[in-house]
Amino acid sequence: MSFRTEKYDNYTVITFSTDKLDAVVAPDLKSELVLLNKNGERNILLDMSSINYCDSSGLSALLIGYRMCGQVNGSFIISSIQPSVKKLITISQLDTIIKSAENIVEAIDLLYEDELERNLGTEQSDD
C-alpha cells in the first residue's frame, strides 16, 4: 500500500509512503476515501510531505476527498505540500476550495477551528 491510515478521535490522517500521487496510487486512495466516508469518518487530513509528483488522477482523488467530507459537514485538509505539487494545485485552482496547512500539526489546528465554527453555527441556528 502506498499510504497508511491512522484514526484518531474525530479525524483520520492519511500519510503517503510513496513520492507520487498518480494513476497508480489514486485509485487506492479514492477507494480508501470512499470506505472512510461509508464508515462515518467526517474529517480527513492528508499528509503529503513525501509527494513530489501529482497528476490529474491524483488531483481527482483530492477532489473526491473534499466532496465526500463536505457532504457530511466535515473537513478535508491537505498538509505539507511540496512546491511542485503546490504549483499544480494552484494552476488547477483546487487551492481555492481545498484547505491546506504547512504541516500536519497546523492541519489539526485548522480542523479544530472548522469544528468550532460548525458548532457555533449550529448553536446560532438553534436560537
C-alpha cell at 10: 474525530
Q: How confident is the model at residue 122 (pLDDT cuts 50, 70, 90)?
A: low
The amino acid present at 32, given as its one-letter code, is E
Q: Give the Cα separation of 35 and 110 in Å (integer).
A: 24
The most distant pair of C-alpha atoms in the chain lies apart, rounded to whole Å, by: 49
Q: What pLDDT score does 126 carry?
A: 57
58 pLDDT more than 80: yes
Does the pLDDT of residue 114 top 60, yes or no? Answer: yes
Q: Tens digits of per-residue pLDDT, 7-50?
A: 999 999 999 999 999 999 999 999 999 999 999 999 999 999 99
pTM for the predicted model, two decimal places: 0.91
3-state secondary structure 109-122: HHHHHHHHHHHHHH
Domains along the chain? 3-126 (3.30.750.24)
